[in-house]
Structure 1
Amino acid sequence: MTQDPTPEDGRPAKPARGLTADGARKASAKSARTRAREFALQGLYQHLVGGNEPDAIDRFTRDLAGFHKADSVHYDALLHGAIREAAELDALIVPLLDRKLQEISPIEHAVMWIGAWEFQHAPEVPWRVVLNECIELAKEFGGTDGYKYVNAVLNGLAPRLRPLETGADPGRKA
């Protein structure tokens, strides 16, 4: 069913949340940075699963539909930075895992790289925005409950990498 039932007062029914009046899914307006994260995630997945080299990934990704809408500078920083610093990022992530790193889905692994990298290198992006963007990536591309795992790990990492920002956040649970 694409619309709420017609109210008893006879007014036209409102479209269901997230749908247009004709039942089509509403297009979300994604920011250029959100798109950059999505393309970086695809590239990091190629690196983790296929062992593809960053330059080959970059050439392939730039030819994908919609790349022109992404923040290419942020994409470059995420893709190349996360691959270059993979061992350091893994060293930050592993202590927060409840299983071996090899047992983590490559999507969730790549999303955690993105979050950890942005916590360290993109101070202009508030830590809660990094966390939310990573949760949304995991929801859209990861397994059913993978976003919960990403949330737990990055929420545990944030105070270590952004202590001043997280410490000053009145909404942060200790």
Structure 2
Amino acid sequence: MNRRVARLRAAQALYQMDVAQSEPNEALESVLDTGEEASGFLKDLIFGTVEHKAELDTIISANLVGWTIERMGHVDRAITRMALYEMQYIDDIPKNVTFNEAIELAKAFGGEESGKFINGVLSKSMEELNK
């Protein structure tokens, strides 16, 4: 499983946890194709994002203009949390790669506006984190 597919599966699992209140292991199993094995990267994205959710939500909330995190779409929230987790805690991936992958995922799942929205939130969040 390459990293792009892992990000897609992780976003789906995080979305499921947010909407259906699924447990992480249950959500992970539900996004895998028959016979597909979860990569370490996929597990790290899901379980790491869940572990750091409160911290990630604080960062996101501080960088929303005219919005609250509760008002964000479930897909946008899942992708933003996952991307921030990856940029904060996974050192071997360039931040611009994670950033671009998150925007592409947002466009694929939520459309052009979601891509722009996540771009803005991640840009502002990264400026603060880099200070």
**TM-score past 0.5 threshold:** yes
For residues 90 and 69 of structure 2, what CA distance do their matches in structure 1 show?
Answer: 25
Q: Does 1:102 align with 2:81?
A: no
For residues 58 and 115 of structure 1, what CA distance do their matches in structure 2 show?
Answer: 17
> Contact 1:93–1:157 at 8 Å: present in 2 too?
yes
> Contact 2:76–2:106 at 8 Å: present in 1 too?
yes
**Which one-letter code corresponds to 1:135 in the other structure?**
I
Structure-1-length-normalised TM-score: 0.69
**Residue 123 of structure 1, aligned match among 91, 98, 116:** 91
Deviations 1:125-162 (A, max 9, x none): 11111110000000001144011010011111123334
For residues 79 and 139 of structure 1, what CA distance do their matches in structure 2 show?
Answer: 20
> Contact 1:61–1:67 at 8 Å: present in 2 too?
no
Gaps of 5+ in 1: 1-30, 164-174
Equivalent residue, structure 2, for 1:7 = none
> Contact 2:10–2:28 at 8 Å: present in 1 too?
no
SS in 2 for 1:145: helix
SS in 2 for 1:97: coil
Q: Does 1:93 align with 2:63?
A: no
Q: Does 1:35 align with 2:5?
A: yes
Equivalent residue, structure 1, for 2:44 = 77
> Contact 1:127–1:162 at 8 Å: present in 2 too?
no
Give percent identity, aligned residues only. 32
Equivalent residue, structure 1, for 2:124 = 156
Gaps of 5+ in 2: none
Deviations 1:7-38 (A, max 9, x none): xxxxxxxxxxxxxxxxxxxxxxxx81010000
Q: Does 1:60 align with 2:30?
A: yes
Return the index of the structure with the highest Cα Rg: 1
Question: What is the count of residue pairs matched by the alignment?
Answer: 130
Equivalent residue, structure 1, for 2:107 = 139
Q: What do you get for the CA RMSD once the two structures are aligned? A: 1.8
Structure ranking higher in helix proportion: 2
